[in-house]
């Protein structure tokens, strides 16, 4: 029997993870509720001044999205690590980095994309205009996959460690900073009339760089974790 | 064909341990000499700055520690990478030994920067590109240290630390060029190889002396820490047993 092709395997791994996410919808919903609650706390904390809220809205939505996507990272490899699937994946003839890419893509579809979909709702809470909302959507669409890709490295490194959650945030949040700066900056630049194209291009560049390097680094980290 | 010199003689912990012990005191002496000379030049020889008055004199600590905070990260990432690629024990030990000194230098750079910022900009902290990226560098050091602390198996700790150190190395050029790329509050580089320095010669000499002093201190502290790490990790090996017997 010949080994299945690489694309078949990638599709199979991604499909399996998506199916698992669909069967455990509570996990996805919890992340979404966390996203909405964190963003809703800010108007309560700083007061309901419309002008202030409109100014900090994009940043708050971005920070909330960043925290929510970090919160979901723990699930990326943990289940597979516990039940031994991960060990089998590292033994597969297909390159581990491609399998990682499949898992990250499925993870983003299950947790990152819902965040992007819900974000306009939060934008209305912060009284953002239509243009600002569209830029926010575009920046989140380009930025959240990068967050998942970078976060995968941290998730792989902290597999099975005590205090994994806090450690994961310490490792991953500093690396998230450029995405946050350009993501929130895109909306601000758009609102200031400077045009968001430069920031969005940089976000796209970050995504491409992360696409090339992050799965590979994650694969190295996974091999360290399971050996 | 065998080379006459054995380049890898000191890459074994058992030969490196006594070498580090012999070298460390000399580096400490050099560090003390350079630092005393640097402080003397900085406080008594260098002229008062035309714009910034006496407050600028913190530059002699600030710049040296900021340089080292970046250099030490690169050195740490280099040793960690060598350890990951060639599986050499001592390289990973060196990376772990450099990290605390690097974190210390980053902290000193941020602290003295705050002390300098208060009289110059009127604020302890501004969200400027260079300050922010230096703060991220501190977080990267802390992430490396906590990741290694959280893993009990030293081999896995070395390798996992190497991955995060290499991923974080992207930040170093961002800090270094941040004052060029973004027009920020932080002043541009004071020292450059390509153009004549924008400061008095005595100031430059004071700064270089302090930088050398900080370098020597970092090397000495790293060597001592590497000795401790070697003792801890190799405690079950034969040569450490012999070392203990010869001491008694």
Torsion of CA B85, B86, B90, B95, to 10 degrees: -10
Question: What's the pLDDT tens digit per position in A15-56?
Answer: 999 998 888 888 889 999 999 999 989 888 888 888 888 888
At residue B49, the 3 state secondary structure works out as strand
Question: Are residues A152 and A104 in contact, defined by beta-carbon separation less than 8 angstroms?
Answer: yes
| pLDDT for A49 | 84
Question: What's the pLDDT tens digit per position in A128-141?
Answer: 888 888 999 999 99
User: Which of A157, A161, A174 is closest, CB to CB, to B136?
Assistant: A174
Residue B218 lies in a domain: yes
Global ipTM: 0.85
Tell me the chain B residues in contact with residue A162 when contact means C-beta distances shorter than 8 Å. Answer: 150
Question: Are residues A83 and A206 in contact, defined by beta-carbon separation less than 8 angstroms?
Answer: no
| pLDDT for B49 | 72
| pLDDT for A68 | 92
Q: Which residue has the higher pLDDT, B127 or A108?
A: A108
Alpha carbons A204 and A206: distance in angstroms, whole number = 5
| pLDDT for A198 | 86
Using CB atoms within 10 Å of the CB of residue A6, give its burial: 0 to 12 exposed, 13 to 18 middle, 19+ buried: middle
Residue B7 lies in a domain: no
Tell me the chain A residues in contact with residue B80 when contact means C-beta distances shorter than 8 Å. Answer: none
Hey, are the CB atoms on B166 and A173 less than 8 Å from each other?
A: no
Burial B69-101 (b: 16+ CB within 10 A, else e): bbbbbebbbbbbbbbbeeebbbbbbbbbbbbbb
Hey, are the CB atoms on B147 and A158 less than 8 Å from each other?
A: yes
Interface test with B, best of A174, A177, A202 (most B CBs within 10 A): A174
| pLDDT for A114 | 92
| pLDDT for A177 | 87
Q: What percent of chain A has pLDDT over 90?
A: 39
How confident is the prediction for chain A on average, in pLDDT? 88
Residue B142 touches chain A, beta carbons under 8 Å: yes
CA distance A137 to chain B (A): 26
Size of interface A-B (CB pairs under 8 A): 50
Residue B126 lies in a domain: yes
Contacts of A221 (CB under 8 A, 6+ apart): A153, A156, A157, B160, B163
* β-bridge partners, B53: B49
CA distance A150 to chain B (A): 9
| pLDDT for A33 | 93
Interface test with B, best of A175, A178, A188, A209 (most B CBs within 10 A): A175
Residue B231 lies in a domain: yes
Predicted confidence band of residue A216 (pLDDT cuts 50, 70, 90): very high
Hey, are the CB atoms on A161 and B166 less than 8 Å from each other?
A: no
Rounded to the nearest angstrom, the gap between the alpha carbon of residue B33 and the centroid of all alpha carbons in its chain is: 19
pLDDT above 90: residue A204 = yes
At residue B53, the 3 state secondary structure works out as strand
CA distance A224 to chain B (A): 6
Question: What's the pLDDT tens digit per position in B200-222?
Answer: 778 888 889 999 999 999 999 99
Residue B26 lies in a domain: no
Residue B19 lies in a domain: no
User: Which of A167, A170, A224 is closest, CB to CB, to B159?
Assistant: A224
Predicted confidence band of residue A222 (pLDDT cuts 50, 70, 90): very high
Question: What's the pLDDT tens digit per position in A85-100?
Answer: 888 888 888 889 999 9
Interface test with B, best of A56, A158, A171 (most B CBs within 10 A): A171
**What does the pLDDT average to over A198-218?**
92
Hey, are the CB atoms on B163 and A174 less than 8 Å from each other?
A: no
| pLDDT for A161 | 84
Residue B99 lies in a domain: yes
Residue span of the structural domain in which B175 resides: 32-44+55-247
Positions of chain B with pLDDT lower than 70, given as ranges: 1-4, 50, 178-185, 187-199, 248
Number of structural domains found in chain B: 1
Hey, are the CB atoms on B146 and A170 less than 8 Å from each other?
A: yes
């Amino acid at each position: 029997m010949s080994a299945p092709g690489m694309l078949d395997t990638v599709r199979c791994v991604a499909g399996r993870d998506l199916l698992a996410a669909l069967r455990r919808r509570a996990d996805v919903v919890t992340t979404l509720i966390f996203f909405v609650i964190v963003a809703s706390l800010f108007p309560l904390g700083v007061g309901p001044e419309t002008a202030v809220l409109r100014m900090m809205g994009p940043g708050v939505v971005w920070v909330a999205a960043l925290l929510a996507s970090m919160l979901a990272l723990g699930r990326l490899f943990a289940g597979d690590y516990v039940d031994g699937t991960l060990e089998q994946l590292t033994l597969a003839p297909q390159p581990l980095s491609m399998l990682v890419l499949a898992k990250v893509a499925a993870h983003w579809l299950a947790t990152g994309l819902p965040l992007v979909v819900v974000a306009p709702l939060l934008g209305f809470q912060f009284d953002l205009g239509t243009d600002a909302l569209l830029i926010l959507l575009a920046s989140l669409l380009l930025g959240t996959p990068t967050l998942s890709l970078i976060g995968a490295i941290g998730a792989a490194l902290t597999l099975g460690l005590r205090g994994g959650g806090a450690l994961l945030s310490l490792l991953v949040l500093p690396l998230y900073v450029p995405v946050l700066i350009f993501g929130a900056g895109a909306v601000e630049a758009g609102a200031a009339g400077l045009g968001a194209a430069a920031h969005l291009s940089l976000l796209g560049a970050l995504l491409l760089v992360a696409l090339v390097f992050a799965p590979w680094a994650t694969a190295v980290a996974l091999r360290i974790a399971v050996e | 064909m065998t080379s006459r010199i054995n380049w890898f003689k000191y890459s074994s912990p058992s030969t490196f341990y006594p070498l580090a012990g012999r070298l460390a005191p000399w580096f400490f002496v050099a560090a003390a000499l350079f630092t005393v000379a640097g402080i003397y030049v900085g406080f008594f020889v260098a002229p008062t700055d035309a714009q910034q008055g006496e407050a600028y004199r913190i530059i002699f600590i600030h710049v040296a520690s900021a340089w080292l905070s970046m250099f030490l990260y690169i050195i740490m990432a280099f040793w960690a990478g060598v350890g990951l690629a060639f599986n050499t024990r001592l390289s990973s030990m060196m990376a772990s030994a450099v990290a605390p000194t690097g974190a210390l230098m980053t902290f000193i750079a941020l602290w003295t920067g705050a002390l300098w910022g208060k009289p110059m900009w009127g604020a302890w902290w501004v969200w400027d590109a260079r300050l922010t990226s230096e703060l991220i560098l501190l977080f990267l050091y802390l992430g490396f240290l906590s990741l290694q602390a959280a893993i009990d198996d030293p081999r896995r700790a070395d390798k996992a630390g190497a991955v995060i150190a290499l991923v974080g190395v992207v930040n170093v050029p961002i800090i270094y060029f941040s004052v060029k790329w973004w027009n920020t509050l932080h002043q541009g580089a004071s020292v450059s190889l390509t153009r004549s320095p924008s400061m008095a010669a005595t100031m430059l000499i004071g700064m270089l002396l302090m930088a050398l002093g900080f370098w020597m201190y970092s090397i000495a502290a790293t060597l001592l820490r590497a000795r401790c790490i070697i003792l801890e990790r190799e405690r079950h090996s034969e040569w450490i047993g012999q070392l203990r017997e010869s001491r008694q």
